Amino acid sequence: MLESLLGSTNCERVLIFIAAREEGYLREISDFFETSPAPILKQLEKLENGGVLFSRLAGRTRLYGFNPRYPFLNELKSLLDKALTFYPEDIRARLLESRRRPRRKGKPEEFERIEALLKRTA
């Protein structure tokens, strides 16, 4: 959708992903869009060198997010938010999910844990 404006599909993918989730790492973005990590890394590096993104290490994982000092950040976010409304509903829903890791097998849901704690204290 924005590839003609941004120059590549992968650039759009990176920006849309980070706009929806606020931050992301290489493998997470490439797995989400089912593409090779190499072109995603190239775009992440290009956007970081251009000052649009910043990166930080969390353990051994490099997380990328929007650079708050980028002068056109608000305008860019507005454009990406508008573009996101034109994405198919299933992709939008997956992009906006907050869960990053799968739930541990057998781990109870949050309300079940709270209910169990309340029973123990009563």
Q: How far is 71 from 21, CA to CA, in rounded Å? A: 21
Q: Are 18 and 66 in contact (CB under 8 A)?
A: yes
Per-residue pLDDT 10s for the chain (122 aa) are: 787 788 899 999 999 999 999 999 999 999 999 999 999 999 999 999 999 999 999 889 999 999 999 999 999 999 999 998 888 888 888 888 765 555 566 665 555 655 666 666 65
Q: What is the pTM of this model?
A: 0.77
Domains, in order of start, for the chain: 3-121 (1.10.10.10)
